[in-house]
Structure 1
Amino acid sequence: MDIAPPKIEIGKSKALYEQAQKSIPGGVNSPARAFKSVGGTPLFIESAQGAYMTDVDGNEYIDYVGSWGPMIFGHADSDVVHAVQDQATSSTSFGAPTRIEIDVAELVCDLVPSIESVRMVNSGTEATMSAVRVARGFTGRDKIIKFKGNYHGHGDFFLMEAGSGPLTHGTPNSPGVTAGNAEDTLLAEYNDVENVRNLVEAHDDNVACIIVEPIAGNMGCIPPEPGFLEGLREICDEHGVVLIFDEVMTGFRVAPGGAQERYGVTPDMTCLGKIIGGGLPVGAYGGKKEIMNHVSPVGPVYQAGTLSGNPLAMRAGYAVLSKIKETQDTLYDELEAYGAALEEGLADTLDRLGLDYYQTRVGAMGCLFFTEEKVVDQATAKSTDAEMYANYFHGLLDEGVYFAPSQFEAYFFGTEHAERELETTLEAQYDVLKRIH
């Protein structure tokens, strides 16, 4: 991939990256951070405030990654900072129940349509792994259906045709995943209801659950086609299959109750993360009480975690969720307005320059693809011009705008993105696209 050298000075990031590779695999603790999809040196971040991040070389960027989604109220939100500081003075962990866990659980049950009971865990991966185990225990069945290009974390039974990192790094079937796990995971085509129906009917009532990103965010941002989520709900009802929405990314971002509220389709179980912890490591899974009552210590399905419901994460999450509940009447209209202006401004630039493109956006997340065709699934996402995106990404970095360092990731924004950030971003996009066209 031919990437022009950066105009900005990133000497300290380069030095840290070289140092990191001596003690950390690939120099990063999560593959998407390595810039493998776009080339070049990953930036090491020093600090962030509001809509801006500053790297170790002192370069400032308008941030459209937002820690991959959690920062809906911007970096270092004062309510979150004060909540974490206050909790830290009382200890960072107890390994025992706390009142704040109840407060967060009640807020989650109040906001998310499908959740009557919820269990806190430590990551989105842990949430999805646990939800599938509970679905299997509840139904007494073994097989699960996931969709090509949907990423549900790095659990063994999810790393089959997963999106994002696995797409970039060429490991849709990761070494270390056993044949037994692979056999129990059935792969479906995203946005193809009939394909799912055929899979369920072919497996003799042995499908425990269908797990889906209701808005795919790990092969770029790809919304559900009309009737897709409704079709999954219908199939699950007909065959006694548990429908799981992985809303780790979309939960509280596209509506107060997530994608299920926005599209009016209620799953049996929901997985959450990111926003629910205000930027701290956290996850959760929940759903109907009749299903969640299978979770230990009430039921026989075992799942535990020393740091589950960690008070720091719960205090941060409560600060964010309570603010969402208080401001929901205006919050999502504000985010929608910014997103629409960003989308329309970029479309105007692309049209004027005569570039082939396809844009997607749902609320405060979206993606730009360089392609002639509509992007609806993994195959159409992979057919887009990833090299053009890489040049677009690096061009924007030089202009002080930080988008996702991968074609197969979504961009995010929050309430701290306002008129100034919009104008700067649109000007930068025009200059970059004109230059690389």
Structure 2
Amino acid sequence: MSHAEWAESRRMWERARRSLSGGVSTGLRAAAKPHPLFFSGGAGATLTDVDGHVYIDYVLGWGPNILGHGNPRLVAAVTDQITRGATYGAGHRFEIEAAEALLALYPDFDRVLWSNTGTEANLAALRIARAATGRQRFVKFTGHYHGWSDTMLLGYRRFADDGGVVAETRGQAPEALAQLELVPWGDAESLRIVLENSADIAAVVLEPVLCNSGVIAPPPGFLETVRELCTAHGVVLVFDEVITGLRIARGGAVERFGVVPDLVVLAKAIAGGLTLAAIVGSAELLDLTQQGVTHAGTYNGNPLVLAAAVATMAELGEEGVYEDFERRGARLADGLRGALAAAGIVGAVNQMGPVVQFAFGVTQVSDTRDFFAADQARYDRLAVALLARGIYVMPGGRLYLSTAHTDEQIDATIAAFVDALANE
């Protein structure tokens, strides 16, 4: 398959550039190689592009499609609800059913707040933490992503050599930088120093598994220490489980690691591909939204997405789902390590349940320095070679598995990696 064989995608992209900035609906897609692709549909773990090529899909909509494409239970729920209306601006049974199902997965908590995106929900969590503590500033960790807002898009890909905070994007409000303390991921002592020397920290916000920058597990005992420090200093601990929630365990990182934060932010997998986010937490914190803390949104908790959420959680509750995620994730990760070894290429592969990270040029990805040192340009070339072999992956090296992926598809993917690496 040559680049010319994506001719229809290229024509559509060029047409899109006349009406959409960059020809895409989110800026990250503009960097896709050889150019943004356009798709006509999906089925199970596969996607078909407008040129008729079928791919095994490890992008999964950048994570939300945890059930794959066209899952029958999800389709039935959404199809039934859309005939009854997309949104009411009022209460309905799915609000209750979805909240009860979610709290069953996170039994340490009392309440759910519905939102639409991870960016929105993280901002709401920070507002609640500020209201609860009477403080303003917050701590986050290098390489962690909590959405694209001015407040939280800091320390993700850009920071000063001394670890200081710098603007991440043009147009970012400079006062946002003053609200943040940036700490190296996994460095409990640096966090301790910050909390002991600042009386104005409302929250510590983190990805419990650093999925956005390397699929890096927390160092042993780190989450427990963060929990202890936040408790000792009266700071609200927020787990951003936009990626890990309902993915690395039914109850996400809280279940997997046994550390209970004060608030958990969820999105992506929670509604099987429809736009939904949530905050789960204690009644003491979340009921502040009935005590002067504004939490709003026209589309919050609409019946269409919550019907999808109920169906998604039911599907993920089937016997063996998470055991299969672990087994198939390990099968893919082991196969990719074998492909690197067979080609004699230096690289590393991380895996946590159905999330896998592939990196060139480093022997391990155990902290953000390793991740940023990886050869991303080489991976971009590999991604194009994989497209030509029927494998669709996102930039950056992260691969997602769904409930629809099969062992045979994973084995075909490993064979494609072996062939692509052998023919670099």
Short-chain TM bin: over 0.9
Q: Structure 1's 172 and 64: CA in aligned 2 closer, same or farther, altered over 3 A? A: farther
In structure 1, the residue matched to 2:406 is 418
Q: Which residue of 1 aligns with 2:329?
A: 339
Of residues 166, 169, 175 in structure 2, which corresponds to 1:174? 169
1:308 is aligned to 2:296: no
CA contact (8 A) 1:66 1:412 kept: yes
Q: Identify the range of structure 1 (417-426 vs 313-322) with the bigger mean alpha-carbon deviation.
A: 417-426
- The answer to whether the 8 A contact 1:150-1:162 is kept is yes
- 1:32 maps to 2:67: no
- Counterpart of 2:179, as a letter, is D
The answer for unaligned runs of 5 or more in structure 1 is 165-170
Pick the aligned partner of 2:254 from 248, 257, 260: 260
Q: Does 1:320 align with 2:312?
A: yes
Letter in 2 for 1:312: L
Name the residue aligned to 1:195: 190
Deviation, structure 1 residue 79? 0.8
User: Which residue, 332, 349, 356 being the options, matches 2:339?
Assistant: 349
> Quick check: 2:157–2:168 contact (8 Å CA) kept in 1?
no
Distance in 1, matches of 2:297 and 2:122, equals: 14
Counterpart in 1 of 2:142? 148
Q: Which has the higher contact order (CA 8 A, sep 6+)?
A: 1
Q: For 1:13, which of 9, 15, 33 is the aligned residue?
A: 9
In 2, Cα distance between the equivalents of 1:187 and 1:21?
Answer: 37
SS in 2 for 1:294: helix
Whether the 8 Å contact between 2:126 and 2:203 is mirrored in structure 1 is yes
**Stretch deviating more after TM superposition (387-396 or 108-117):** 108-117
1:299 corresponds in structure 2 to 291
Q: 1:172 & 1:161 partners in 2: Cα distance? A: 8
**Structure 1 residues 113 and 245: CA distance shift in structure 2, 3 A:** farther
Residues 167 and 174, structure 2, Cα contact 8 Å, conserved in 1? no
Aligned equivalents of 1:112 and 1:35: distance in 2?
Answer: 37
Runs (4 or more) in structure 1 with deviation over 6 Å come to: none
Q: Distance in 2 between matches of 1:190 and 1:110?
A: 30
Is 1:189–1:377's contact at 8 Å kept on the other side of the alignment?
Answer: no
Q: Which residue identity lines up with residue 26 of structure 1 in the other structure? A: G
| Structure 2: gaps spanning 5 or more residues | 159-165
Letter in 1 for 2:16: A
Aligned residue in 1 for 2:358: 368
Equivalent residue for 1:62?
A: 56
Partner of 1:435: 423
State the alpha-carbon separation in 1 of the partners of residues 372 and 423 from structure 2: 25
- Aligned to 1:46, the other structure's residue is in SS state strand
Q: 1:172 and 1:264 mapped to 2: Cα distance?
A: 35
> Which residue number in structure 2 is paired with residue 167 of structure 1?
none
The structural deviation recorded for 1:373 is 3.9
Matched, 1:281 2:286: no
Of the three residues 80, 84, 94, the one matched with 1:86 is 80
Q: Give the AA of the match of 2:182.
A: L
- Could you tell me which residue of structure 1 aligns to residue 163 of structure 2? none
Displacement of 1:406: 2.8
Residue of 245, 264, 267 corresponding to 1:270? 264
User: Is 1:249 aligned to 2:243, yes or no?
Assistant: yes
Amino acid aligned to 1:432 = A
Question: What amino acid is aligned across from residue 120 of structure 1 in structure 2?
Answer: W
Q: Indicate if the aligned counterparts of 2:336 and 2:417 stay in contact, CA closer than 8 A.
A: yes
Q: Is the 8 A contact 1:32 1:406 kept in 2?
A: no
**CA 1:148/1:255 → structure 2, altered by over 3 Å: closer, same or farther?**
same
Deviation at 1:113, TM superposition (A): 4.0
In the aligned structure 2, how far is the partner of 1:266 from the partner of 1:177? 33
Cα offset, 1:293, TM superposition = 1.4
Distance, in Å, in 2 between the alignment partners of 1:200 and 1:373 is 34
Once the two structures are superposed, residues 316-355 of structure 1 have per-residue CA deviations (whole angstroms, 9 ceiling, x without a partner) of 1110112223x1x411111111111111112122112221
Query: Normalising by structure 1, what TM-score?
Result: 0.92
AA at the equivalent of 1:133: R
Distance 1:283 1:82, change over 3 A: same
| Whole-Å separation in 1 of the counterparts to 2:176 and 2:348 | 36
Counterpart amino acid of residue 68 in structure 1: W
The answer to whether the Cα contact below 8 Å between 2:95 and 2:306 also exists between their aligned partners in 1 is: yes
Partner of residue 116, structure 1: 110
CA distance in 2, matches of 1:42, 1:13: 7
- The answer as to whether partners of 1:191 and 1:376 remain within 8 angstroms in 2 is no
Report the TM-score when normalising by structure 2. Answer: 0.95
Alignment of 1:212 onto 2:206: yes
| Deviation for aligned residue 1:156 | 1.4
Query: In the aligned structure 2, how far is the partner of 1:234 from the partner of 1:6?
Result: 55
Q: Secondary structure of 1:157's partner?
A: coil
- Partner in structure 2 of residue 168 of structure 1: none
**Residue deviations 1:1-38 (CA, integer Å, cap 9, x gap):** xxxx94561111111111112221211111222225xx
Q: Which residue of structure 2 lines up, in the alignment, with residue 137 of structure 1?
A: 131
